[in-house]
Amino acid sequence: MGRPAVPAPALWAFTPLLQALQDLVQIRDLARRDEVPSCACMSTSPASTTVRADFQGTLPSSLVIASLSRALDLAEGEPMGHAVRACWLGMKLGDWFGLGPEDRQDLFYALLLKDVGCSANAYSVTHWFGADDRSTKAQLKIADWSSQWRTVLFAIRQTAPTAPITRRMAQLVSLGSKGPGLASELVQARCTRGAELVRELGWAEPAAEAVLCLDEHWNGSGRPRGLKGEEIPLLSRIILLSQTAEIFWRLGGRRSVESVLRRRRGTWFDPQLVDAVLIHARGDKLWDRFGTITHPEQVTNLDPHPRGIPSSTLAEMLRIGQVFAGVVDAKSPWTSTHSTRTAVLSRRMAAVMGLDEEEADRIGLAALLHDLGKLAVSNAILDKAGPLEPAETMEMQAHTEISYQLLAPLWPLGDVAEMAASHHERLDGSGYHRHLRGPDLTFGAQIVAVADVFDALTSDRPYRRAMDNDQAIAELRKTAGRSLAAEPISALFEMVESARGMPDGFAALT
């Protein structure tokens, strides 16, 4: 992430020029002079060697994390596959520099999980820039803050871009009032939280440290610590180069990526890393091969020692699901515990309904991951206080299909993906995204749907206050047998009633 926007006094000095600069930016985008026009340079050719789930349903950890990394791509305003391609290039650099198996494993998971702290600053980015957090974060990741002029141009271009000029002015002044601390605050939140989550997932400290320092620059201009040169962990230096190279390659192919590597050699990037990439790009068709990397399975063999994750016992998957549920919920202050609460409710409802522990675990995992696709939804929509416009509704409703796409490569968990993607389907066919009807909905999907609605009704939202438990149950009963299944609603009512005599009431159950 680059330097902060200029303070308010400097922005006021540019006030008479803002309208003219807005026109200028549309004509000549100086803030992105490193980029060239985008090209269609992605291939769908399969990799020659892949690692898949075995016939007993054991999933390699490398496939699980590579698949879920695509959700982090979407949260950062990148297309699915950004981290997978960055991982492929970063692991090439690790090989060229002779990293041992332990370092390569740390590098592998740090590359895939580099953006796992993505949601920690999503609300702040939307709040301060008055814009779509995803597009703003995508530009912050590659913007070169070499002058105050570039800073001003970036602020003009990214701040409330669709708003009237008067509102843009007010937003710019608000942004500038944060001063130099804003950029540090945003990077600190993202990188610190990312490192914490890497630790929670069980990978070694070097992987966490690599994520913490991935926005440090070779010349000391990066954040959050302002490290310089070899003070920056080698793994972090590899990650920064790899992710930047992937973005510029996607925007403009070989010419674009090699241009930015040369230009930022010794400022952003370790010169030796840049030289290694450029040398290998000359003779072994590096970028042609880079363009064939499109699917998680194409990098899973790069983990020297992948852990086997049984899909039958689910203990490890539940732990991973809990972490990614936290990533989703942190995106908006209005849903800070939604996925976790929905999972707890779903598992308890399943138990009340007489399902065995394995079935309850699978339903609970689906509930943890049911909103994974919401990482692709702008906070400007998630946190909107008023009614959604038709285009906003379409973007919001797309999250269920995206959740399915993200989970689909984990084929032993196909039923989990189905339940997660069906939580907005309704018995009468009025739901989305496939408009399934009662006979087509699994029992687990019906349970998750009821838990999802109940938690939403009993939580504050930007457009309404929370209901109490009895009000929410009354609302659910109106839908029983028509749009939502009656049996899960009855189980939920039983849970509410049984909690009345408990010291903490129903809260003790969630």
Sign of CA dihedral 392, 397, 399, 401: negative
Question: Mean pLDDT across the stretch 41-47?
Answer: 38
374 carries an active-site annotation? yes
pLDDT > 90 in the chain, percent: 64
Q: How far apart are CA 492 and CA 479, in angstroms?
A: 14
Q: In terms of domains, do 174 and 228 share one?
A: no
Using pLDDT thresholds of 50, 70 and 90, give the confidence band for residue 43.
very low
Domain range spanning residue 478? 311-509
For residue 265, the SS3 value is strand
Residue 59 to residue 308: CA distance in whole angstroms: 6
DSSP H/E element including 58: strand 58-60
Greater model confidence, 172 or 44: 172
Q: Would you state the pLDDT for residue 130?
A: 83
Which of 302, 321, 337 represents a domain boundary (last residue)?
A: 302
Are 90 and 242 spatial neighbours (Cβ–Cβ below 8 Å)? yes
Instruction: Specify whether 257 is located in the same domain as 349.
Output: no
The pLDDT-based confidence of 183 (bands split at 50, 70, 90) is low
Residues 415 and 476 both lie in one domain? yes
Instruction: Give the Cα separation of 168 and 130 in Å (integer).
Output: 8
Beta strands, E only, 272-360: 308-310
pLDDT band at 24 (very low <50, low <70, confident <90, very high): very low
Same domain membership, residue 387 and residue 499: yes
In a domain, 73, yes or no: yes
- What tokens appear for 397 in the block? 């409703």
CATH number of the domain where residue 325 is located: 1.10.3210.10
For residues 347 and 355, give the distance between their C-alpha atoms in angstroms, rounded to a whole number: 9
Beta-sheet pairing, 308-310 with 58-60? antiparallel
Q: DSSP code of 409?
A: T
Instruction: Tell me if 133 sits within 8 A of 379, measured CB to CB.
Output: yes
Do the domain assignments include residue 209? Answer: yes
pLDDT of 295: 95
Q: Which of 114, 141, 331, 374 is catalytic?
A: 374
* Exposed / middle / buried, residue 438 (Cβ in 10 Å: 0-12, 13-18, 19+): middle
**For residue 318, what pLDDT is reported?**
95
Q: What is the DSSP letter of 310?
A: E
Q: What is the pLDDT of residue 38?
A: 36
Q: Which long-range contacts (CB under 8 A, 24 or more apart) does 79-83 make?
A: 79/250, 80/405, 80/406, 81/293, 81/294, 81/295, 82/243, 82/246, 82/247, 82/250, 83/111, 83/112, 83/114, 83/115, 83/243
Question: How does pLDDT run across 286-319, given as a tens digit for each residue?
Answer: 999 999 999 999 999 999 988 888 877 899 999 9
Q: Are residues 322 and 298 in the same domain?
A: no
Is 346 a member of any domain? yes
Predicted confidence (pLDDT) per residue in 220-259, tens digit: 988 888 999 999 999 999 999 999 999 999 999 999 999 9
Position 227: which residue type?
Answer: L
User: Quick check: 503 pLDDT over 90?
Assistant: no
Letter for the amino acid at 140? L
The residue out of 161, 188, 215 marking a domain boundary is 188
In the predicted model, is pLDDT for residue 41 greater than 50?
no
At 12 the pLDDT is 35
Examine the domain organization and report whether 158 and 217 are in the same domain.
Answer: no
At 199-224, the pLDDT tens digits run: 999 988 999 999 999 999 999 988 88
The predicted pLDDT at position 508 comes to: 56
Q: What digits encode the pLDDT tens for the residues 331-384?
A: 998 888 999 999 999 999 999 999 999 999 999 999 999 999 999 999 999 999
Question: Phi, psi at residue 113, to the nearest 5°?
Answer: -105, 15
CA 73 to chain centre: 5
Cα–Cα dist 209/271, whole Å? 21
Q: At residue 462, does pLDDT exceed 50?
A: yes
Q: Under 8 Å CB-to-CB from 382, ≥6 apart: which residues?
A: 331, 332, 334, 335, 374, 396
The predicted pLDDT at position 443 comes to 94
Short-list 102, 122, 120, CA closest to 110: 102
The model's pLDDT over 58-116, given as tens digits with 9 standing for 90+, comes to: 899 999 999 999 999 999 999 999 999 999 999 999 999 999 999 999 999 999 999 99
Is 196 contained in some domain? no
Mean pLDDT in residue range 443-449: 97
Query: Are 211 and 146 in contact, with CB atoms under 8 Å apart?
Result: no
Question: Bridge partners of 308?
Answer: 60
Q: Are residues 9 and 154 in the same domain?
A: yes
Q: Are residues 383 and 453 in the same domain?
A: yes
Which structure tokens are listed for 194?
């990312």
Residues 339 and 441 in one domain: yes
Helix axes 315-329, 61-75, angle to 10 degrees: 10
Question: Is 135 inside any structural domain?
Answer: yes
Work out how many domains the chain is built from and give that number: 3
Residue 159 CA to residue 153 CA, distance in Å, equals 10
Identify whether residues 403 and 349 lie together within a single domain: yes
Of 276, 302, 328, the residue that ends a domain is 302
Where does the pLDDT of residue 506 fall: very low under 50, low under 70, confident under 90, or very high at 90 and above? low
Q: Per residue in 382-423, pLDDT tens?
A: 999 889 999 999 999 999 999 999 999 999 999 999 999 999
DSSP 49: -
Predicted confidence (pLDDT) per residue in 422-434, tens digit: 999 999 999 999 9
| 346 and 424 fall within a common domain | yes
Q: Work out the pLDDT band at 502, boundaries 50, 70, 90.
A: low
Structure tokens at 151: 């800073």
Are residues 129 and 274 located together in one domain of the fold?
no
| Integer Cα distance of 75 and 426 in angstroms | 28
Mean pLDDT computed over every residue of the chain: 85
